[in-house]
Amino acid sequence: MENQLKKNDLAFEQYPMEVFGIKEIDYVLAPFSREDLATLFEKLEKFKLFFRQKGLADLDRLFTKPSASVGKNSFLVFKHNKYITVPTENIAFFYVKYECTLITCFDGHEYTVNYSLEQIQNLLADKQFFRLNRQYLINFCAVKEVEHYFARKLFVRLAVPVADKLLVSKEKACCFLQWLENR
């Protein structure tokens, strides 16, 4: 009986390889060879060509590397007894004041949100927003200029007035400059 169970286990291990190898685009399981990968990419190219010929070129984007997450498009806020949505593109920065997270828009309006700064950072596109420090998460479009500061820190000036001096630590300075550069 135990011998029969081992044979069944082997059959189930082989089954995915047979199904995907014949009917579908290959399912790659380790160990695999260079030839297995070459065959997989060949099938993938045929699959893409098939959809292009059928006029379904939009499916081609399924085979491209996904870009950085698009992120949240807007935030629902409550102000003056009304709920309104604030588009992310209108937000200059998020900041923490007295344990509340606030949004400051390019037009100067401020709103309170029910998210922590860390939660907001996870909801937004990394390419558009950068966490300067524990208090500020800024929009790329809000950055006016950056200066060197004491002890290899960076001083960031925004297009929107800010009450605090926005400093980037020396540990984060390189990442911040790369973020500004890689756009």
Out of 63, 94, 113, pick the residue that ends a domain: 63
Same domain for 80 and 169, yes or no, is yes
Cα-based angle 32, 38, 39 (whole degrees, multiple of 5): 90
Identify any residues that bridge with 137 across adjacent strands, giving them in sequence order.
94, 131
Same domain for 55 and 89, yes or no, is no
For the chain (183 residues), the mean pLDDT of every run of 10, in chain order, is 50 46 53 76 77 61 54 91 94 94 95 94 92 94 94 93 92 92 83
Among 129, 104, 105, residue whose Cα is nearest residue 118: 129
The domain total for the chain is: 2
Q: What is the CATH number of the domain that holds 113?
A: 2.40.50.40
Does residue 148 form part of some domain?
yes
Q: Would you state the pLDDT for residue 49?
A: 75
Same domain for 82 and 58, yes or no, is no
Does residue 53 form part of some domain?
yes
Domain that holds residue 46: 2-63
Out of 33, 63, 93, pick the residue that ends a domain: 63
Same domain for 81 and 163, yes or no, is yes
Q: Would you state the pLDDT for residue 39?
A: 81
For the chain, what is the radius of gyration of the CA atoms? 26
Same domain for 95 and 58, yes or no, is no
Same domain for 137 and 172, yes or no, is yes
